[in-house]
Amino acid sequence: MPRLTARGRLVRARAGRRLRGLVRRWRSSLQLRVLASTLTIGLVALALIGAYVGDRMSAGLFDARRQQVLSESARSTQQAQDVFDASAANTFSEVALLLEDVTTAQRNGGSGERDVFLLRAPRQTGIGVGATASDLSLVGVVSRELKQAVSDGGQQWQSVAIPTSGGGVEPGIVVGQDVEVPMAGTYQMFFLYSLKAEQDRLDFLLGTLALGAAAIVVLLGAVTWLVTRRTVHPVRRAAHVAERLADGHLSERMVVHGEDEMATLARTFNEMAASMQDQIHRMEELSTLQRRFVSDVSHELRTPLTTIRMAGEVIHGARQDFDPAVKRSAELLATQLDRFEDLLADLLEISRFDAGAAVLDAEHRDVRDIVAQAVDNVIPLAGRRGSWLHVDLTDQRAEADVDPRRVERILRNLLVNGIEHADGSDVEVRVGVDARAVAVTVRDHGVGMTSDEASHVFDRFWRADPARARTTGGTGLGLAISLEDAHLHGGWLEAWGRPGAGACFRLTLPRRAGIRLEDSPLPLVPGPEVSPAAEAGPRRSTDPTALPELPPMTGEIAIVSNPTDPVRTDVRVDHPATSTAEPGRVG
């Protein structure tokens, strides 16, 4: 296959663009499709009708002329036979002269001039006089088949093409019949008729029909274009107004003309737009009032909360002197005050997102450091819940332009959520990086969730199981704030779950501002591969020698690289009260 030159590729590219433009125009224009369909159907119908009418006219003209020619040639043949029968010629020269006279006399028929041939019949023996013709150059149009048919008996005819002096041909018909010539035997008398007049008449009729069909097509196209324009134009106008409304131009309206169906459509559309504008304005006012209310209440509650906090701390500090019931109440008061303070902070953060006042304070940081800090913050919770944290860090630097405070808050919320729903099982954290993005996944093996629950997990104050106890005292806004933080970075925060198989949350952040994410370095749905926890061996052994590579520590974090996997880092924490590896430590 020959290679295309640069000019050939350019021509092909231009042709491809034009073809794609035509396809887009065809798909996007209802008027064009209706007009093209109408014209196509009209042309096909007119072509079929024209073919039928033309065939009928041609057959009618030919049949009429053929009947006339047959009748006329039969009379002429009989007249010639009468002349031959009455002739007293007794010499060959007299017979030859008789043939010429008959040929000349029969040249003119009732319908005009015609050519006459007197040819000796096939299979005749004896001395013949010869053949005579009004035009010897046309004798060749009489075919051998026609001569044989005439010899078999009766009048015969055949359509022929008559050559003209200009080198062309014109339609004609040859009619032949036997005659008896004295002394010469049987001859065949042929009459050649030209059908040029009939052909001209047929061409004129067909031309008139074609001209009428063209006029009908043009008229049909004009009517279709006008009708579709009057129908489609209001629809286009409505689509344009709808786009303007969708862009926020709520005062846009359609122009109303007349009182027909289109005018009714325009008025109804305008009424709908006005109703939508009124409802949107009321919803905006209500949303503004709600945001202001939340912000004002959150700010106003800080002063009494500070006073209550001070009093609570005094009571909590003196709880050892109280009886057990009052002591328990003081501890509950301190816990709920912490939760109340977290709720106010989350409400203020949500109100900033709703008002569009959230600002990203980006720094060029290694996300692995932020992950380690987030893991460090949730180690006490993991110890209380009996869960092991397995951190799988990539050996490649995962640097990105991020707000460390917000990313750390996202990861902390994901880790707390995973530990809370792990029910004492392992929680795995992985970090991945490619040229465009950095990803972190938090995977637990707890109760899991359905696909419907995964679609609502980032809703505010939403809980899959309202009866489930929240031991961490969460506010119900953590994942919602995390989603807003991810969107503020231009990233993704996604969730996957399966009942009884745990859940997986994936945070994907662009490495540079302005990068549009198309894929993530880590999969969201966990694969069938062996988990890092399984590779690490027994998880809940109370034997201090179960993890010999980790030195026993008290109240600290030990980070040791796995020699068999330079990408994985295992983290383990020992409580101050024991020197054994217990559940709840990160390993």
Q: For the segment 38-87, what is each residue's pLDDT rounded down to a tens digit?
A: 888 888 888 899 889 988 988 998 899 899 989 999 999 999 899 888 88
38: in domain: yes
Q: Rounded to whole angstroms, what are the CA distances from 425 to 217, 419, 564? A: 78, 8, 24
The CATH code of the domain that includes 451 is: 3.30.565.10
535: in domain: yes
* Whether residue 437 sits in one domain with residue 327: no
> Which pLDDT band, with edges at 50, 70 and 90, does 563 fall under?
very low
- Average of pLDDT values for 458-468? 67
194: in domain: yes
* Whether residue 346 sits in one domain with residue 364: no
* Whether residue 394 sits in one domain with residue 265: no
227: in domain: yes
Q: Rounded to whole angstroms, what are the CA distances from 216 to 37, 47, 53, 136, 544? A: 15, 12, 16, 49, 99
* Residue ending a domain, choose from 292, 325, 350: 350
- Look at residue 556 in the predicted model and tell me its pLDDT: 31
In this model, does residue 5 exceed pLDDT 70? yes
With residues binned 3-state (H G I as helix, E B as strand, rest as coil), the percentages for the chain, rounded to 5, are 55, 15, 30
> Which pLDDT band, with edges at 50, 70 and 90, does 320 fall under?
confident
- Look at residue 578 in the predicted model and tell me its pLDDT: 29
- Look at residue 298 in the predicted model and tell me its pLDDT: 67
Question: CA 513, CA 401: separation in Å to the nearest integer?
Answer: 7
Question: CA 580, CA 587: separation in Å to the nearest integer?
Answer: 13
- Look at residue 439 in the predicted model and tell me its pLDDT: 93
In this model, does residue 303 exceed pLDDT 80? no
583: in domain: no
18: in domain: yes
* Residue ending a domain, choose from 221, 250, 279: 250
Mean pLDDT of all residues in the chain? 79
Domain residues for the domain of 179 are: 14-250
In this model, does residue 507 exceed pLDDT 90? yes
- Average of pLDDT values for 224-234? 80
Question: pLDDT exceeding 90 applies to what percent of the chain?
Answer: 13
* Whether residue 338 sits in one domain with residue 189: no
- Look at residue 125 in the predicted model and tell me its pLDDT: 64
In this model, does residue 545 exceed pLDDT 80? no
Q: Do 216 and 42 form a contact (C-beta atoms < 8 A)?
A: yes
In this model, does residue 31 exceed pLDDT 90? no
Question: CA 177, CA 193: separation in Å to the nearest integer?
Answer: 15
In this model, does residue 309 exceed pLDDT 90? no
* Whether residue 414 sits in one domain with residue 343: no
* Whether residue 557 sits in one domain with residue 479: yes
Number of domains comprising the chain: 3
- Look at residue 343 in the predicted model and tell me its pLDDT: 73
What pTM did the predictor assign?
Answer: 0.46
pLDDT in tens, 109-156: 777 778 899 888 887 765 567 788 888 888 889 988 998 898 888 889
In this model, does residue 443 exceed pLDDT 90? yes
In this model, does residue 359 exceed pLDDT 80? no
- Most confident stretch, 235-239, 276-280, 463-467, 507-511: 507-511
Nearest alpha carbon to residue 519 among 434, 403, 399, 414: 434
578: in domain: no
